[in-house]
Amino acid sequence: MSFISISFAIFFLILVVLYHIIARVSKNPVLIQNILLLAASLVFYAFADLRFLSFLFYIIIVSYIAGRLCKNKTIFILFLIADIAPLFAIKYCPLILHTHWIFPLGISFFTFQSVSYIVDSYTKKIPSEKNFLNVALFISFFPIISSGPIQRAGNLIPQFQNVRNFDYNNATDGMKLFAWGMFKKLCIADRIAVYVNYVYGNVNDGYGLAILLATVLYSFQIYCDFSGYSDMAIGIARYLGFDVGKNFDHPYLSKSVGEFWRRWHISLSSWLRDYVYIPLGGSRVALPRIYLNILITFLVSGIWHGSTWNFVIWGLLHGIFQCIGRATKSFWEKIKVPSFIGIFITFCLVTFAWIFFRSNNLQEAGIVISKIAQVPQNISQFFVIKGNLGMKEALRILFALNDENFGGFSEMSKVIFLLVIFIICELITEKTEGIQLIRSKKAIVRWMLYLTLIFFIYFFKPITYSTNFIYQNF
């Protein structure tokens, strides 16, 4: 059930009405609200495919029993293996056995969430949860089950123990976040997707300029798609009275790849830090070992995202970038590079790595890179074509601005216009969160902003758009 669907709107409306009635009339509102949330989460998850529920139930049961029984290292390791086994089998056994199995929605996310619960229980970071309902709800909580943010039991489970009465600020903030997420998903990510999919679907025939533009746009597509989902998920949770944290913090304004990963997919980055990097020794070991720890951590990140070599390369590239950044940090600080140069270099490195993430395989990634290397040649071709056919035709040919496949210049102008608005919003809200900025404005200004956002969502969403999100595939 997609957040962007009539079925979800009906589902959520019914849930909210029952949820707040329970808070007012029930003698035991915490228990009844939690039962309602668990039932709603199971319905939400089963809507994707009823068969997926068996995987979810398995992880819930393993998590609960592990939390209660993990008293020594051997039992802990056995439960950890049992917890990860379905994810490993689904992602990697089909590759080995050349078979096609079902891929349960969000299994990577709720498995990592389960692992964190088992590890934290074993290490006494959190008390073992005796209430099965709380564990089941922690694993299956519907706003975050398919694509995060990945939660920690120490943050989310205590929130299940409180009554959630209707709160005006939570409700309105949640609606604002949801609307902003819709704008990013529909008006930016899905518009860009049409062009990117066309160009990457024809890399053998495309010019380097078109492929370069599509690669840069893909950086914004995946950001707006994934952060758009996160904003909607966080908004839904906040409306219901839960704080599930922040998952993105203006990552493309980072001045290094290390900083990028502190701002991008924060819940995964912190999970990798706490459950992979630090257990390997983190930064408390000799420098060569630190570099190895970084590479291993990002190798795990790559493998988590996918079982093919292009994801492995993507992860290793980020590890290499961070090692180089760490080794040259004092040099860059000494020469005092302006912030905008650091931001530009970081964006270029991250965008280059996205080539391997977006490509279907290493061969396609190689073609993309070789085509981009031909950009200087394409520029010289541009002047030749311009002289023969004119400026507009030269741009159309070299940038694949075909009316029948993408919408031509008109569609690209809309994409650029929306991206400029988005970038301006990113710059304005880097220091102060958008919600706080809006609250500080007078009512007339706030409502003008709300109506403008609604206008953009209604009039600038593409005619055809995807209700799926990129990270649901992971």
305 is catalytic: yes
Choosing from 20, 100, 265, 305, which is the catalytic residue? 305
Q: What is the DSSP letter of 246?
A: -
Give me the phi and psi of 87, to 5 degrees please: -60, -45
Q: For residues 77 and 83, what is the distance between their CA atoms, to the nearest angstrom? A: 10
Question: Which tokens sit at 37?
Answer: 């949330």
- Contact, 274 vs 367, CB < 8 A? no
Q: Is 384 exposed, middle or buried (0-12, 13-18, 19+ CB in 10 A)?
A: exposed
Name the residue among 311, 285, 287 with its Cα closest to residue 299.
311
Please name the residues in contact with 359: beta carbons below 8 A apart, sequence gap of 6 or more.
200, 310, 365, 368
Q: For residues 190 and 105, what is the distance between their CA atoms, to the nearest angstrom? A: 21
- Contact, 243 vs 237, CB < 8 A? yes
Q: What is the DSSP letter of 433?
A: -
Amino acid residing at 26: S
Name the residue among 260, 253, 256 with its Cα closest to residue 428.
253
Name the residue among 119, 168, 172, 164 with its Cα closest to residue 141.
164
Coil vs helix vs strand at 27: coil
- Residues serving a catalytic function are 305
